Amino acid sequence: MRIICAKDYKDVSRKAANIISAQVILKPDCVLGLATGSSPIGTYQQLIRWYEKGDLDFAHVRTVNLDEYVGLSKDHDQSYAYFMRQNFFDHINIDQANCNIPNGMNPDAEAECARYDAVIKSLGGIDLQLLGLGPNGHIGFNEPCDEFVKGTNKVSLTKETIDANARFFASRDEVPKFAYTMGIGSIVNAQRVLMVVNGANKAQAVRDCFFGPISPRAPGSILQLHPDFTLVADEAALSLVKDLL
Ligand code: GLP
């Protein structure tokens, strides 16, 4: 585990974008695992700027997103499919036929999860997986639970996650209660994992996941075992572990 201390959100975003850029330059047809949430937005903005300057080419890049809310169509403005187009795909030269995301409108969870696992397999796995971290330590939408789930699965969102994500919806009642998420197995099978974390509200999760025991109660903790895991975090997110670095 490599921990990179950044000053603030902007610094986190630039450092993470540098790492992703290197991946795209080294392997132009790489498979990027992508994340949503507020944490990676600055990283995407930086990558867009470098694309606009001519430094990056996404023409051959393939992507798999971590998760999607069950019941939201790809055109719903809070769906993760919409988020990805708004915040990244519509601004770069990626072929959106190469961009994969779980289909939140498929009511058959078993079929959708099997389909998504087959997509990941057909791509030959993930070269670099970008992650945020939930305030409760979740990665993707793999919530704290009793066991690590390997493959894509349908999860019941915790009250804490619904509360945290309510800020994006008109009311708390509108936040979906379920999501499809890539499993922990697919995430840890990525060749490289890069996590971006900022803000004091993540400090406890950082401590629990990366300085505590490896446990499905703190899902991100599994990354302690990954051979190429980089955490890029700002001072606020590292505030509870600064004496341990
Ligand atoms: C969301 C997403 C995660 C994300 C996390 C943190 O619910 N499913 O992929 O990492 O919660 O979100 P944020 O970056 O907005 O704090």
CA of residue 106 to ligand 1 center, whole Å: 22
Q: Is 137 in the pocket of ligand 1 (CB under 6 A)?
A: no
Local confidence band at 71 (pLDDT 50, 70, 90 cut-offs) = very high
Is 0.75 surpassed by the pTM of this model? yes
Per cent of the chain over pLDDT 70 is 100
Q: Is the dihedral of CA 169, 83, 1, 183 positive or negative?
A: positive
Per cent of the chain over pLDDT 90 is 98
Q: Is 38 in the pocket of ligand 1 (CB under 6 A)?
A: yes
Please give the angle made by the CA atoms of 28, 33 and 37, to the nearest 5 degrees: 130
187: nearest Cα among 228, 215, 154, 135: 228
CA of residue 37 to ligand 1 center, whole Å: 4
Strand locations in 107-226 (E): 128-131, 153-156, 178-181, 192-197
Please give the angle made by the CA atoms of 72, 73 and 76, to the nearest 5 degrees: 80
Atom of ligand 1 nearest to the CA of 179: 8
Q: Is 67 in the pocket of ligand 1 (CB under 6 A)?
A: yes
Residue 112: what pLDDT?
98
Average pLDDT rounded to a whole number, residues 153-182: 94
Is 235 catalytic? The answer is no
Residue 166: what pLDDT?
93
For 6-21, the pLDDT digits (tens) are 999 999 999 999 999 9
Q: What is the mean pLDDT of the chain?
A: 97
- From the candidates 68, 87, 127, 138, give the one annotated as an active-site residue: 138
